């Protein structure tokens, strides 16, 4: 199915601002009613991942991947888990390496193309929790890129249990997103990410003296600076541009074989023009691209009695329509 011609999302009064949509949920939204059970699993390379389960006893499971410097406790993850629990799904929000409140064991970390960790989570579910008859994937921003890349890389080899996926606010062209974030109007966001990433570097320095350092970190101002110095060499890429090129999910979209909804707001301050894969979706039988006029980055604020954001209801509606297995 091609482009979604008309989005149902309408921004509330006063919430047409991209920055307000982006910042408000992070600072002011409180999601109640989600109780996690944490499980730690080992990765094939000797690291670990912390998984947070929100369970209802269902036979349907949604696996949620957070964004850059996020975790399972972010309001957008909690809101999505709660929305699916209400509709008869279990939810699994996994924390990428070093994002669960404890540094990971290895020098390497997570990154936009690290699909092997999502694969480890899915493999764990399939091996150890046979009660699940249906799986679905949801990703936000960086986690959305990982989700889409995973589906495209594996293409027809994706588990038949995976019925569909939804990805919000995805920088599917990483170079384009990095250029957009480097612009002056995004300085407040860029500075925050660079500060949070610095904290991760310092934690690694304490655990692994001499193997990594932050000398001259005050010169790191953009994603190019950080990825060129840290992400690329730590994860086997030649440089930042090689990392962006090989890890961008846009090139993998043609190979996606399960119904997938991509939602990116037209006013997303983090996404450059190349992050809207209009031509790819227009001719794709499985990728649905929806571009609401508003929403900011991982925003899509709504005010209602249920406390649900539009993005949560939209994802649940899309995936529920694909599922025939009883709750």
pLDDT tens string 250-285: 999 999 999 999 999 999 999 999 999 999 999 899
Per-residue pLDDT band for 5 (boundaries 50, 70, 90) equals confident
Question: From the candidates 141, 176, 264, 311, which is the catalytic residue?
Answer: 141
Enter the pTM of the model: 0.97
Query: How far is it, in rounded angstroms, from Cα 270 to Cα 203?
Result: 27
Q: Where are the alpha helices (DSSP H) in the chain?
A: 18-28, 75-86, 115-128, 142-154, 174-181, 187-207, 223-226, 232-234, 240-247, 278-282, 310-320
Based on the fold, state whether residues 167 and 33 are members of the same structural domain.
yes
Q: Is the pLDDT of residue 16 over 60?
A: yes
78 found inside a domain:
yes
Burial group, residue 132, by CB count within 10 angstroms (0-12, 13-18, 19+): middle
Query: What is the DSSP-derived secondary structure letter of residue 285?
Result: S
Write down the pLDDT at residue 45. Answer: 97
Q: Tell me if 289 is assigned to some domain.
A: yes
Is it the case that residue 21 has pLDDT exceeding 80? yes
Summary mean pLDDT of the chain? 97
CA 116 to chain centre: 14
Q: What is the pLDDT of residue 326?
A: 61
Q: How many domains does the chain have?
A: 2
- Give burial (CB, 10 Å; 0-12/13-18/19+) of 225: middle
* Residue 256: inside a domain: yes
Average of per-residue pLDDT across 209-213? 97
Q: How far apart are CA 81 and CA 53, in angstroms?
A: 9
Looking at residue 89, what is its pLDDT? 98
Q: Is residue 5 part of a domain?
A: no
CA distance to 164, 189, 201, 311, per residue, from 138 (Å): 9, 23, 28, 11
Quick one: 129 and 44 in the same domain?
A: yes
Final residue of a domain: which of 229, 247, 265? 247
Q: Do 231 and 140 share a domain, yes or no?
A: no
Q: Report residue 2's pLDDT band, with 50, 70 and 90 as the boundaries.
A: low
Task: Judge whether 155 lies within some domain.
Answer: yes
- How many angstroms separate the Cα of 59 from the Cα of each of 78, 102, 161, 241, 322? 20, 31, 11, 42, 15
Say what the pLDDT of residue 307 is. 96
pLDDT > 70 fraction of the chain, expressed in percent and rounded: 98
Tens of pLDDT, residues 161-208: 999 999 999 999 999 999 999 999 999 999 999 999 999 999 999 999
pLDDT above 70 (res 327) = no
Give just the sign of the alpha carbon dihedral 47, 50, 56, 61. Answer: negative
Last residue of a domain, which of 192, 217, 247?
Answer: 247
Is the domain of 132 the same as that of 268? yes
Ramachandran sector of residue 261 (left: φ over 0; alpha: ψ -120 to 50; beta: rest):
beta
Residue 324 pLDDT class (50, 70, 90 cuts) = confident
**pLDDT at residue 1 above 80?**
no
Identify the domain containing residue 184 by its residue range.
174-247
The one catalytic residue among 268, 288, 302, 311:
268
Shared domain for 156 and 181, answered yes or no, is no
CATH label of the domain that carries residue 87: 3.40.50.1820
Q: Mark which of 225, 247, 269 sits at the end of a domain.
A: 247
297 is catalytic: yes
Q: How far is the C-alpha of 229 from the C-alpha of 236, rounded, in Å?
A: 12
Residue 6 in any domain: the answer is: no
Q: How confident is the model at residue 325 (pLDDT cuts 50, 70, 90)?
A: low
Rounded to an integer, the average pLDDT of 116-124 is 98
Please state the rounded mean pLDDT for residues 60-87: 98
Same domain, 208 and 306: no
pLDDT at 125: 98
Same domain, 58 and 169: yes
Burial class (CB in 10 A: 0-12, 13-18, 19+), 253: buried
């Amino acid at each position: 199915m091609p482009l979604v011609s008309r989005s149902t999302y309408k921004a509330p009064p006063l919430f047409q601002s991209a920055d307000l949509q982006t910042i408000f949920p992070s600072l002011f939204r409180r999601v109640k009613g989600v109780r996690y059970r944490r499980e730690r699993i080992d990765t094939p390379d000797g690291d670990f991942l912390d998984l947070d389960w929100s369970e209802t006893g269902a036979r349907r499971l949604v696996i949620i991947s957070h964004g850059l410097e996020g975790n399972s406790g972010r309001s957008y993850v909690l809101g999505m888990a709660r929305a699916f629990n209400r509709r008869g799904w279990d939810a699994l929000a996994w924390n990428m390496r070093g994002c669960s409140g404890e540094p990971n064991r290895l020098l390497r970390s997570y990154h936009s193309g690290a699909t092997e960790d999502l694969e480890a989570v899915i493999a764990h579910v399939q091996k150890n929790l046979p009660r699940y008859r249906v799986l679905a994937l949801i990703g936000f921003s960086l986690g959305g890129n990982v989700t889409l890349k995973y589906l495209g890389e594996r293409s027809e080899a994706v588990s038949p249990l995976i019925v569909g996926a939804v990805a919000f606010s995805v920088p599917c062209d990483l170079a384009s997103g990095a250029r957009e974030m480097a612009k002056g109007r995004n300085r407040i966001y860029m500075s925050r990410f660079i500060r949070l990433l610095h904290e991760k570097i310092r934690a690694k320095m304490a655990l692994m003296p001499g193997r990594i350092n932050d000398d001259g970190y005050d010169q790191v101002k953009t994603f190019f600076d950080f990825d060129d110095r840290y992400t690329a060499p730590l994860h086997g890429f030649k440089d930042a541009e090689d990392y962006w090129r090989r890890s961008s999910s846009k090139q993998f979209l043609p190979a996606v074989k399960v119904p997938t909804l991509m939602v990116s707001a037209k006013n997303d301050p983090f996404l450059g023009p190349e992050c809207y894969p209009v031509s790819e979706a227009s001719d794709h039988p499985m990728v649905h691209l929806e571009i609401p006029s508003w929403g900011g980055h991982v925003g899509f604020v709504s005010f209602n009695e249920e406390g649900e954001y539009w993005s949560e209801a939209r994802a649940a509606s899309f995936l529920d329509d694909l599922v025939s297995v009883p709750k």
